[in-house]
Amino acid sequence: MWALSVHPNGHGGTLVLDDVPEPAPEDGDLLVEALALGVCGTDREIVAKGPRLAPAGRSGLVLGHESLGRVLEAPAGSRVAPHDFVVGDLVVGIVRRPDPVPCAFCAVGQFDLCENGGFTERGILGRDGFGSERFRLEPEYAVRVDPDLGLAGVLLEPTSVVAKAWEQLDHAVRLPRHRALILGAGPIGLLAAFLGVQRDLDVHVVDQVAHGPKPRQVRALGATYHSSTESLHGTFDAVIECSGVLVAEAIDRTAPGGAACLVGVGDVRSVGEMNLADLARQLISRSRTVMGTVNSNRRHFEAAHAALRRADRAWLDGLLTDCVPLENWRAAFDTGPEQIKAVIRFTA
């Protein structure tokens, strides 16, 4: 079967369409036919740098952590309460697997907070991903997807990341929330804005492009789009930083008693902008909270699924700006101002 595999090449990685063996039964009871694979910045970074940790005994890694597939085999007892999986179910795979020697978090199902560092992640760290024509899943790491979502079901994994960010903000903001600020209008930023609108907040989104699908998607939500932070006014009760370059702005724009959640990986352009003494003063004197988040567990996938089911389907489809067939997979790794989410389709 065909799979997108990353191999080290001495100075980074090389992505190729490989002919690989069928997935081993020990990888999971559910045999899944891949329908679509989302491509994000993490995938592009793995391709550029090469696999950080390949599966045992191999140098290459099957890429892909944003999945959507259809169950081909589901043995009796393939169950996640209260339902059994059956052939034909649409599913998405949870990405992280806990350390075999569980920490206190892993022991209670919060493997996204693993302290041991021995976890693996499908398509990212130590385990093959979902970028193959077929893959296997353990039932406890499979999430059933409403077929009405169609191709937009591939958005479940990135939505789970922002569902976790909003869960943390829901607990951290100490005053009634009215305004939210999202810095960055990539897929994560737009999905964060979408969940903010579902919370009936006045949502503002900042990105550097002035025209195209990003501002159009923000306005379709009923949110306010800014092509510069200079047009922002006042502070915000909840802030989600998705760009990696506006950390100082995120903290400065957080209202007293509010909270900021950092989702974007820090960029070198943000280094040196913040003095730690000034940061401490801001947090203490204005009772602000700053946190970071990455990855997600089943609870966040389920919350994401519930949110996507409440969405306008046309809006979700508007995020999928670049859908390419498997034979044209290279195009999914190109970037540009007109692109939001690139998706590789494994079936017509």
Residue 187 exposure: Cα atoms within 13 Å on the Cβ side: 28
The answer to whether 209 and 216 have CB atoms below 8 angstroms apart is no
Predicted confidence at residue 274, as pLDDT, reads 65
Predicted confidence at residue 78, as pLDDT, reads 76
Q: Cα angle at 263 between 261 and 265, to 5 degrees? A: 130
Predicted confidence at residue 269, as pLDDT, reads 54
Predicted confidence at residue 81, as pLDDT, reads 64
What six digits make up the tokens of 46?
Answer: 């793995």
Packing angle of the helix pair 213-220, 187-198 (nearest 10 deg): 10
Instruction: Give the chain's mean pLDDT.
Output: 92
Closest by CA position to 17, among listed 340, 339, 333: 333
- Euclidean distance between the first and final Cα of the chain, in Å? 16
Pairing relationship of beta strands 342-345 and 179-183 according to DSSP bridges: unpaired
Q: CATH second-level architecture of 160-292?
A: 3-Layer(aba) Sandwich (3.40)
Predicted confidence at residue 267, as pLDDT, reads 56
What percent of the chain lies above the pLDDT cut of 90? 74
Low-confidence residues in the chain, pLDDT < 50 = 268, 271
Predicted confidence at residue 287, as pLDDT, reads 78
Residue 245: other Cβ atoms inside 10 A: 18
Helix (H, G, I), strand (E, B) or coil at 175: coil
Strand partners, 125: 121
Residues in the chain: 348
Closest by CA position to 299, among listed 102, 167, 173: 167
Pairing relationship of beta strands 134-137 and 30-39 according to DSSP bridges: antiparallel
Pairing relationship of beta strands 13-19 and 2-8 according to DSSP bridges: antiparallel
What are the extents of the domains in the chain?
Answer: 2-157+295-345, 160-292
How much is the pTM?
A: 0.93
Predicted confidence at residue 162, as pLDDT, reads 97
What six digits make up the tokens of 182?
Answer: 């999202």
What is d(CA 61, CA 23) in angstroms, rounded to the nearest whole number? 13
CATH 3.40.50.300 for domain 2-157+295-345: no
Strand partners, 113: none
**Looking at residue 273, what DSSP letter applies?**
S
Residues 6+ apart with CB under 8 A from 231: none
Domains 2-157+295-345 and 160-292 in one fold: no
